[in-house]
Structure 1
Amino acid sequence: MSLTKRFLKTKPECKVTFKLDEEACHDAKSIHLVGDFNGWDKEDTQLKKNKTGDYSVTVTLEVGKDYHFRYLIDGKKWVNDWEADYYAPTEFNSENSVVRL
């Protein structure tokens, strides 16, 4: 798992690449990035599988905010990012991953 941040010079935005390695995916059929930046929509932001078996997606986000997110594997299993900037407790007795921009 990894988060890669690329801050834009001309806009207050950052391109964030969210990546799950093959080991974390365990032969998943689909993986979605679900967070407050997409209204916690379980279908909106799907990660794509690359040649090495890793999954990733890049999202453009506004700088100066913290964004809560999790990965949803096969519509059933919620997973946090091991390299999140920090974790925040939820009302569901779990934690969200957070990326700070």
Structure 2
Amino acid sequence: MLERKLRKDRTEVAFVLPAGTPPGPVGVVGDFNGWQPGTHTLRPRKDGKRAVTIALASDSTRSFRYLAAGDYWFNDDSAGDHEGPNSRLHT
């Protein structure tokens, strides 16, 4: 699930997943971090979900996927758009 907060000069996007689904560590990997695994790892929240928040330029389109343990790549269905194998995010 994606949560967006509009700021004056950027959009803060929280990438959110349920706790333990999928099991193990999960990171978000995309064109905003050079597709570098380990850069944006989801952390536990008080509500039990896992999330990481990234500030992105407003009015942009970004491609991303999640990477879980065991080299398991998957998309975010809440993104609403895809480009090839990647989820697309419009800020």
> What's the TM-score once normalised by structure 1's chain length?
0.82
Residue by residue over 1:14-61, the C-alpha shift from the partner in whole angstroms, topping out at 9 and shown as x without a partner, is 0001101136x23x2211110000000011110002344421010000
Structure 2 match to 1:96: 86
Aligned partner of 2:53 in structure 1 is 58
Instruction: Select the residue among 17, 26, 36 that pairs with 1:41.
Output: 36
CA contact (8 A) 2:19 2:44 kept: no
Where structure 1 has 5 or more consecutive residues not aligned to the other structure, the ranges are 90-94
Equivalent in the alignment of 1:21? 18
Number of residue pairs the alignment of both structures matches: 91
**Percent identity (aligned):** 32
Which structure 1 residue ranges, 4+ long, deviate > 6 Å from structure 2? Answer: none
Distance 1:65 1:75 in 2: 31
Alignment TM-score, normalising by the size of structure 2: 0.90
Which amino acid is 1:3 matched to? L
| Structure 2 segments unaligned to the other structure (5+ residues) | none
Give the match's secondary structure for 1:45. Answer: coil
CA distance in 1 between partners of 2:2 and 2:78 (Å): 7
Amino acid aligned to 2:56: L
Counterpart of 1:84 in structure 2: which amino acid? A
1:8 aligns with 2:3: no
Q: C-alpha root-mean-square deviation of aligned residues, in Å? A: 1.5
Q: Give the match for residue 76 of structure 2.
A: 81
Change (3 A) 1:5 1:52: closer
